[in-house]
A and B are shown apart, each in its own frame.
Chain A
Amino acid sequence: MVPLSWYIGLSAALFTIGIVGVLIRRNVIVVFLCIELMLNSVNVALVSFSHYLDSMRGQVFVFFIMAVAAAEAAIGLAIIISVFRNRETVDTSDINLMKW
């Protein structure tokens, strides 16, 4: 039997790697992938709590998170495409038109 804290530890590790990726990478697409990593780590935590607390709610929440993640990926990639069309770059340090 795997203790619940192992799953939560895995989820925390995945979330931390996602945060590091968002902080240190400059390619917008990789930043987006790291956001997906963080969403996945939250899904792992929700499903493990759902299993260990004998409740279905966690899994229903994961369903909603997946729907929102799909919407977010579609919108975000559309934004990346339109930014690339205008500025010819996907580097976050070059996307500074509104920088004060």
Chain B
Amino acid sequence: MDILQFAFGYFAVVIVACALMVVISRNPVHSALFMLPLFFHVAGIFIMLNAEFVAALQVLVYAGAIMVLFLFVIMLIKSDVEKVRFHLNTMTALPLAVTVGGFIMSVVVRSAFTGAKGTSTVEAVQQAGNSQMIGQAMFSEFLMPFEVTSVILLVAMVGTIVLAKKKID
């Protein structure tokens, strides 16, 4: 068992434990706060996969922006601690989850996971730099989706202001 496998084991255990705590905490503030170590450890997984740019984005966007938004809203509205943790359909949800998870896992175990290899090998990425390689792909091959993304963000901004603004009359 080499050091990378050990690191993966650590990250995976913390991620799964935090995810379970998000689901089973009664207090939504606790749920939101358990997302924070989860995001950081997912960023660690990204670094293990030589994706430094995505790891930085994960920390900035998820742990920085989205979590602050969630905590703001949780504290803005009165959401009390639930008395019943799981609801009536726990008995249906759990077998369903076991089935779905088992199905996904069986596909995962059986797949060979081979495909056409690209040109961005680890050496090439390390030589050019991760951000630069992503930028090249984003502004050549994915230019149109990139522009559409900016429109999505604009629509989200306008929509959020319209939805959350108090009516003045």
Q: Residues of A at under 8 Å CB distance from B?
A: 1-2, 4-10, 12-21, 23-27, 29-30, 32-34, 36-37, 40, 43-44, 47-57, 59-60, 62-64, 66-75, 77-82, 84-85, 88, 90, 93
Contact = CB atoms under 8 A, between A and B. Distances in A.
B35 A10 contact: no
A10 B15 contact: yes
B127 interface: no
Given A26-B87, A27-B28, 7 more contacts: A15-B104, A16-B101, A17-B19, A23-B97, A53-B117, A63-B54, A72-B156
B31 A29 contact: yes
Contacts, number: 233
A16 B122 CA distance: 31
Interface residues of B, number: 87
A8 B120 contact: no
A5 B32 contact: no
Interface of B: 2, 4-5, 8, 12, 15-16, 19-20, 22-23, 28, 31-32, 35, 38-39, 42, 45-46, 48-51, 53-54, 57-58, 61-62, 65-66, 69-70, 73-74, 76-79, 82, 86-87, 89-90, 93-94, 96-97, 100-101, 104-105, 108-109, 111, 113, 115-122, 125, 130, 133-134, 136-138, 141-142, 145-146, 149, 152-153, 155-157, 159-160, 163-164, 166
A36 to B, nearest CB: 7
A49 B2 CA distance: 21
A24 B26 CA distance: 12
A67 B78 CA distance: 28
Given A23-B93, A56-B137, A70-B66, A29 B32 contact: yes
